[in-house]
Amino acid sequence: MYFSLITPKNGLEREAAIQWSKGPYEQHQWLWQFMDAAPGTTRDFLFRRRDGEKKLPGFYLVSARKPEPISSAWDVKMMDYDPKLQAGQQLEFALRANPIVSHKIDGKAHRDDVIMHEKKKLLTERGLQRWSDWPNSDPEKPLLYDLVQSTCVHWLEKRAEGNGFKLVSTHDGSKTIRVDGYTQHMAGKKEISFTTVDFTGELVVTNPELFKKTLFNGMGKAKAFGCGLMLIKRI
């Protein structure tokens, strides 16, 4: 496997901007150009957009094949990616994910992002239709920030063991996880909607083999839209 960073070259930003596509769906299609794949090839890479000081972003990639520059305007820094992992190893991590929950309505499968699902549940319990119908003066109404933190951390915690890790807890039992960037996106001609959040924090590797699969194959849904790639750093 390979870990790469794709960025516009200094001084060639204008040329890079001409080649660049901005939408979430178009990002995925645009990055395929770096992979030298035959038509019909199954996607074998993960990516995450990295927004920096410049107007044009960069991209982290984890891929089975070596990415190649598509023009002189883009730089590809690449390294072999085979992290050495041990059970009990503690790491810092960053993950952009699509936190969804599946449920059935009238026998049909539906997916909601976990924040909207929890909102609907709380409203139903109170016989309300809209979040704005719930008075802000009610002490039981959670702040959006707190709702995002609690529901997303719970979502990640439930999936941690199956992906070879556990979240680090403080002495009082709370998790050392931060959830930022709650965003709802529209992508593609069919206007597919999806939600992303950015997790940062610390984890402990419990199953090195499973965790390596998570690093190589990603976690959760919407991988074609830049979700699922977990970045790690030794502490």
pLDDT 10s digits, 27-83: 888 888 898 777 777 888 999 998 866 667 889 999 999 999 888 889 999 999 999
**Predicted local confidence at residue 159, as pLDDT:** 97
Q: Which of the pair, 189 or 82, is modelled with greater confidence?
A: 82
Question: Do 69 and 157 belong together in one domain?
Answer: no
Whether residue 38 lies inside any domain: the answer is yes
Q: In terms of residue numbers, what domain contains 164? A: 90-234
CA 222 to chain centre: 8
- 1 CB contacts (<8 Å, ≥6 apart)? 62, 63, 64, 80, 81, 82, 216
Whether residue 24 lies inside any domain: the answer is yes
Question: Do 188 and 129 belong together in one domain?
Answer: yes
pTM: 0.89
Token pair of 82 as six digits: 């085979």
- Average pLDDT on 3-12 reads 90
Question: Do 69 and 11 belong together in one domain?
Answer: yes
Structural domain count, the chain: 2
Instruction: Phi first, then psi: give them for residue 116, nearest 5 degrees.
Output: -65, -35
Question: Do 61 and 135 belong together in one domain?
Answer: no
Question: Do 108 and 73 belong together in one domain?
Answer: no
Whether residue 85 lies inside any domain: the answer is no
The yes-or-no verdict on residue 105 having pLDDT over 90 is no
CATH number of residue 218's parent domain: 3.30.70.1210
**Predicted local confidence at residue 163, as pLDDT:** 98
* Measured distance CA(147)–CA(134) in Å, rounded: 15
